Amino acid sequence: MTGQPLKPLHALLALAVMIVWGTNFVVIKVALAHLPPLTFAALRFTLALLPAVFFLKRPNVPWWNLAAYGLLIGVGQFGLLFIAMGHEISPGLASLVVQTQAFFTIGLSMMLTGERVRGYQLAALAMAAAGLGWLMIHAGADVTPLGLALVLGAALSWAGGNTVSRRAGSVNMLAYVVWASLFSAPPLIALAIGLEGWPTVSGAIAHADAMTWAAVLYQSVGNTLFGYAAWGWLLGRYPAATVSPLSLLVPVFGMAASAAVLHEPLSNWKLTAAALVLGGLAINTLWPAFQRRRFAAGRTA
């Protein structure tokens, strides 16, 4: 199955997932105009949990695994991301910076397995770090140091969730995400009430308009249920080396959608930072496949 290309319909499915995940950052910004960030996160995971949990069998994984994934993804990744996107970072840049989860995932894997870092990974990390440094130099209205730190924290939490989900083995990813939401929604509800206050939470929900609820449903049904189910389905039928590189399109769609819908300016410094971060991600993702093909070509020559 190594090197197997995506069938046309499956390629369209993968592209649809990338579009949903990329444009998702604009949807987040729309919802945050009317909902406090932790309230929004709590609604997202509540609707991802209910009513789907009554129709999907619990995956055969330990409860601690579901709990760890739910806390890392729900509270860690999206709790921090939504707080950052409230006022500290633009949607386009958030879609770019959060992709650094790839490097955090590698780092956590090395810590757990003792695997040594490779040269291409160091080069990729250096390029991406240069892009983040360029963002820091131009910190201002579109990104603050706090916003960058919060999104990097979200990326680290995402990487932790990736590590935990791998320990789960081969499972129905849709059911896994739904049941893990059992451990995302309650703490997010508690944090929302404790930090944002019940009057703020209840008032925001009571006054949410149709557009806001559509954004919440887009998060829970489109981004979470459709996105994870389709992505897991593709990963179950194709090599990771075939599917994973497509995730590089997420910040492309994210920045393009933010520019088109929210009129976020794509200034030269943003494009430079994006080129550096995406370049690092591309090296990290594509270099192993390039080496395998070169080795295979050398053997057949």
The stretches of 50-196 forming alpha helices (DSSP H) are: 63-70, 80-87, 91-97, 101-113, 119-137, 145-167, 173-180, 185-191
Q: How far apart are CA 150 and CA 156, in angstroms?
A: 10
pTM of structure: 0.85
C-alpha dist (Å) from residue 72 to 77, 140, 153, 173: 6, 29, 10, 16
Comparing 39-48, 187-196, 214-223, 291-300, which segment has the lowest mean pLDDT? 291-300
pLDDT in tens, 91-140: 988 988 888 887 787 788 778 777 677 788 788 888 888 888 888 887 67
User: What pLDDT was estimated at residue 1?
Assistant: 42
* Tokens linked to 24: 């998702």
User: What pLDDT was estimated at residue 157?
Assistant: 94
- 252-273 burial, b at 16+ Cβ within 10 Å, e below that, comes to bbbbbbbbeeeebeeeeebeeb
User: What pLDDT was estimated at residue 298?
Assistant: 62
Amino acid (one-letter) located at 171:
V
Burial of 300 (0-12, 13-18, 19+ CB in 10 A): exposed
